[in-house]
Amino acid sequence: MAAVWDGPGGMAGAPGFLDKERIVAGPGFNRWLVPPAALAIHLCIGMAYGFSVFWLPLSKALGIKESIKCGPEIGFFQELFVTSCDWKIATLGWMFTLFFVILGASAAIWGGWLEHAGPRKAGVVSALCWCGGMLISALGVHLHQFWLMLLGSGVIGGVGLGLGYISPVSTLIKWFPDKRGMATGMAIMGFGGGAMIGSPLAAELIKSFATPTDVGVAPTFVVMALIYFVFMMGGALGYRVPVTGWKPAGWTPPPPAQAAMITQRHVHVKRVWGIPQFWLVWMVLCMNVSAGIGVIGMASPMLQEVFGGNLIGVAKKFGELDKAQLASIAGVAAGFTALLSLFNIGGRFFWASLSDKLGRKLTYTVFFVLGGLMYASMPGSAMAGSKLLFVAACCVILSMYGGGFSTVPAYLADLFGTQMVGAIHGRLLTAWATAGILGPVVVNYMREYQLGLGIPREQVYNQTMYILVGMLALGLICNLLIRPLADKWFMTDAELADEKRLAHERASASELAASASGGGTTPTALVALAWLAVGIPLAWGVYKTLLSVAKFFG
């Protein structure tokens, strides 16, 4: 058979079980099988948030007990290839930055291909890239070649992140037209929860594999890649798409007069760059994420520097603490970071589900108004020495940071229709890539600038909080300017029919007779098993996180 290049999925002549035509669900299929499939992939790729667990052992990969420091003549580009000294943690951190830049770029580039190829093929490619990238990184650790780690996990793994992240969006929105926010919230909650499972797992594996001559990171990468591959392939093969025009039993779309911000028409992805509303939503996401990600990156040092010895009942500022006291407050701050991760994850489901009731525009208005009040309150809480108010504000902020991610796919579906929402979401994720640079830069550089002026450590974050309030105000203005699209942006009936043909959509349920997915009612036991497969690891991750949170309250 002649093979034709068909995007990152490989050849058009790929095995039939990957083709979109083979995963159209038959009558009686239970739509609640799709969210755990999406969760299986998102819980694996979400480990991108937890890669910092590798930085400390990797910074001693050669020295084992202590880092072998590079000389001043070794710059960043020399560190890519050097084998005689250890990598700096700051250098290793570039992998984290690369993750999200490549995620945004790959989602934007291949989002259109995903809509045509279907979620199964995209999920398989994501598994190959993410897990294959980890294996290349393992080789990089073994050979002490940082460029291999950047290529493996940063670039190839970043492509897997992008495709895996957007692979379920369009499918879930089509399966849950009545609960768009809740459905995408469930999946994207998994991305936030990935580090909650992966970080403690990686820590246990590193401890098990560590020897007097090896820090244990390379074999940890290999084992995690194999575990993730099993789960991600299970998720990819579990995807099904509904027949064209499918609706839940007893549900009818709200009439346009009652839902002016929810369109029944569809926009082609190639047009979105020119649509003002797309750029307004882009700014809404960018500002919300920039503010939140800045706090995430500095949560631990911020709490320690602001409250100092008060965290352990000692009336001393941060700079006055001895080594043992510093170690104690670091443990408390680790619990604080774990607490924030729970609110980040819970907020993804809570706010996205609530948006089904409030509407997407009002939900983001709450994010910006309430978030602005929280940021503005933090300098006052710090000055008053109120840990409770300070931590509560951070928790609310992080819940809305996660909620911003999970609510935006439904916002896009409301405005641009569902036909190409996955591809449009992919292009929107360039806002995340931008925020991943903008937020940490604002917080980190403002902190350094304030310290340079001689401002006490407990006050260096005050100005930063007011800058973040300004960013949220800009996001609020953009959100309030969003209006329904003009008719000129939507596809005509002929364009829509052609797009459905390219997306291999079946016109009616009668065409399912030859489909591999067949008919028949989905056994309840299968649905329960699918949820257990993702629920047990997630529960374990929550348990391990709560153990860390206990240090904060202790």
Tokens matching residue 421: 């929402």
Q: Which residue has the higher pLDDT, 13 or 327?
A: 327
Whole-prediction pTM:
0.87
- Helix (H) / strand (E) containing 531: helix 524-553
Least confident range of 95-99, 371-375, 517-521: 517-521
Q: Which residue has tokens 């379920």?
A: 168
- The tens digit of pLDDT for each residue in 82-109 reads 899 999 888 888 888 788 889 989 999 9
Q: Rounded distance, CA 409 to CA 185, Å?
A: 9
In angstroms, the CA 287 to CA 439 distance is 9
Residue 253 CA: distances (Å) to CA of 31, 245, 398, 409: 18, 11, 33, 18
Main-chain phi, psi angles of 540, to 5 degrees: -65, -40
Confidence of residue 516 (pLDDT cuts 50, 70, 90): very low
Lowest mean pLDDT: which of 4-8, 204-208, 241-245, 472-476?
4-8
**Among residues 287, 281, 280, 238, which one has the least CA distance to residue 29?**
238
List pLDDT tens digits, range 305-348. Answer: 888 888 888 888 888 888 888 888 888 888 888 898 899 999 99
DSSP 24: B
Percent of the chain with pLDDT over 90: 56
For position 374, what pLDDT does the model report?
Answer: 95
Task: Name the pLDDT band for 500 (thresholds 50, 70, 90).
Answer: confident
Please say if the pLDDT value at position 15 is more than 50: no
Cα 297–chain centre separation: 15
Residue among 414, 470, 391 at smallest CA distance from 277 = 414
pLDDT at 423 over 80: yes
N- to C-terminal Cα distance for the chain? 66
- Domains contained in the chain, CATH given: 31-66+92-245+515-554 (1.20.1250.20), 257-491 (1.20.1250.20)
Q: What pLDDT does residue 518 have? A: 43
In 3D space, the residue among 294, 307, 129, 138 whose CA is nearest the CA of residue 206 turns out to be 138
Number of Cβ atoms within 10 Å of the Cβ of 525: 8
Q: What are phi and psi of 256, to 5 degrees?
A: -55, -35
Whole-angstrom Cα Rg for the chain = 24
Q: And the tokens for 309?
A: 């010895």
Residue 251 has pLDDT above 90, yes or no: no
Compute the Cα dihedral for 54, 57, 62, 67 and give only its sign.
positive
> What would the pLDDT profile of 186-223 be if each residue is shown by its tens digit?
889 999 889 899 999 999 999 999 999 999 999 999 99
DSSP state of 382: H
Range list of β-strands (E), 75-145 = none
Helices (H) and strands (E) in the chain, counts: 19, 0
Per-residue pLDDT at 257: 53
pLDDT of res. 231: 97
**Phi, psi angle pair for 241, to nearest 5°:** -115, 145
pLDDT, average across residues 358-370? 96
